[in-house]
Amino acid sequence: MRILFFTPFAGRNGAEMMLWYTIKHINKDKFSCALFSGQKGPLIDELPKSVPFFLPHVPLKQTLGQRVIIKAKNRIFGKNKVDDPYKKSVIDAHNKFKPDVWYINTVLCPEAVSLALELGVPYVVHFHDMLFVYQHITYNNLKNAVEGAKLLVGCSEVVCDKLRIMGGTNIALHYECIDTSKIALDKKNTEKLKKKLNINSSFIWVMSGSVEYRKGTDLIPLIARSLGKSVSILWLGLGSSGYSYYIEKELKYYGIENVFMLGSKSDDYYDYLALADGLVLTSREDPFPLVMIEAAALGLPIVSFNSGELKNSLKMVWVS
Amino acid sequence: MGIVIDSFDTLDLVQAMHKVSNNEINFNKEISIARANEFDAEIQAQYWQDMMLSRDFA
């Protein structure tokens, strides 16, 4: 089977990490794979050499000037007669690789869904998200993703439930995964990182995820104040919006010094996780957070809201 | 594994964090690691291949 995968960023988020792990372990005798990524993110360099990849001929995030020119051309010549750079890039990739099916990884590739429908290419959509993401894509893009796909894949039971509610018919459950071989700890490095941060707390909590409302980063200042100074909290993940600015200011306003906003730290990621004594998941919605599996693999206890109905999704041994 | 809070109340989350840091819950590290290993990419990739091969996309 020849599969052309579509992914939005090639970034280190759960949905795209899962895709990379799958591609890495795929049986090459049974599957030929290629990848089309909306952006040249850091994971592109980690693709197996045998997997060809394609990028848009021009960056997907067009400048305002580029968008104005395309819009003006569309008005003058009609939409179908204008060279849409994304469409052209995808068609070139399709013609070169000749896939049997497109595998659209996340609903954050709506252009691929529209194009698959237009060209009559069979497609699979893998859903890693729920309502917080649905609100950021258009009505028709979600409709097309659900109603036109040959197969809908949900990353957890609760995601599959949402797909059923939306009228999806051919639904499969496929959990997110981690590469346990990558969790090789460097104890010396962990100690070094602890010293670098100058942490002498009796207990260290860690959370990993983008700094955003869905992940509940804004709850961290209140949690830190309630726990007191003997406990530290590390947040691994990037954020550059006004939301991050607000949180930075709130921490400063209350004089909170035991919260460390560390950014992405991809090289030392597992050593930072291992530095902690427990994982706290503050997400308001998270259908299947990879960090939970990573923390479990490190033997860390987890405290979490039931975001994404984690109890049902994981059927793990919770004690409450 | 830990504690799941149904209430979405931050102070309930804090209380649970206190319980964990004070060793007030039964936590078995080995069970946790074994369960996590079931989500290893090699195992899950096999499920994914079975899922794809059982479908006809023509």
The reply to whether residue A203 touches residue B18, judged by beta carbons under 8 angstroms, is no
Same domain, A138 and A200: no
Same domain, A126 and A186: no
Same domain, A55 and A135: yes
Decide which of A137, A156, A173 is a domain's last residue: A173
Q: How deeply is B21 buried, as exposed, middle or buried, from its count of CB atoms within 10 A (0-12, 13-18, 19+)?
A: buried
* Chain A contact present for B34, CB below 8 A: no
Contacts of A282 in chain B (CB under 8 A): 13
Asked whether residue A296 is assigned to any structural domain, the reply reads yes
pLDDT along chain A (320 residues), means of 10: 95 90 92 94 92 84 57 61 76 96 92 93 95 92 94 94 95 92 85 89 92 96 95 92 96 96 84 94 91 92 83 50
Same domain, A216 and A161: no
Same domain, A147 and A255: no
Instruction: Point out the residue among B1, B11, B48 whose CB comes nearest to the CB of A302.
Output: B1
Half-sphere exposure of A245 (CA within 13 A, CB side): 3
Instruction: Point out the residue among A300, A305, A310 whose CB comes nearest to the CB of B13.
Output: A305
Asked whether residue A306 is assigned to any structural domain, the reply reads yes
Q: What is the ipTM of this complex?
A: 0.94
And the tokens for B19? 């319980």
The reply to whether residue B10 touches residue A297, judged by beta carbons under 8 angstroms, is no
Predicted pLDDT at A200: 84
Contacts of B2 in chain A (CB under 8 A): 278-279, 301-304, 318-319
Task: Tell me how many domains chain A contains.
Answer: 2
Decide which of A173, A195, A212 is a domain's last residue: A173
Decide which of A173, A204, A236 is a domain's last residue: A173
CATH number, domain containing residue A96: 3.40.50.2000
Asked whether residue A320 is assigned to any structural domain, the reply reads no
Q: What is the pLDDT of residues B4-49, one digit of tens each?
A: 998 899 999 999 999 999 999 888 889 889 989 999 999 999 999 9
Same domain, A12 and A157: yes
The residue range of the domain holding A227 is 181-311
- How many angstroms separate the Cα of B57 from the Cα of each of A82, A121, A151, A279? 31, 9, 9, 41
Same domain, A131 and A156: yes
Helices within chain A (DSSP H only) = 14-25, 64-77, 85-97, 110-119, 131-134, 139-148, 157-165, 187-197, 220-227, 242-253, 269-275, 290-297, 310-314
The reply to whether residue B3 touches residue A320, judged by beta carbons under 8 angstroms, is yes
Say how many C-beta atoms besides its own lie within 10 A of residue B50's C-beta: 11
Same domain, A291 and A198: yes
Predicted pLDDT at A201: 83
Asked whether residue A58 is assigned to any structural domain, the reply reads yes
Asked whether residue A45 is assigned to any structural domain, the reply reads yes
Asked whether residue A236 is assigned to any structural domain, the reply reads yes
Predicted pLDDT at A82: 46
Rounded Cα–Cα distance for residues A179 and B35 (Å): 14
Cβ atoms A104, A113 nearer than 8 A: yes
Same domain, A101 and A186: no
Asked whether residue A319 is assigned to any structural domain, the reply reads no
Same domain, A169 and A299: no
Same domain, A141 and A21: yes
Asked whether residue A316 is assigned to any structural domain, the reply reads no
Predicted pLDDT at A68: 61
Same domain, A189 and A163: no
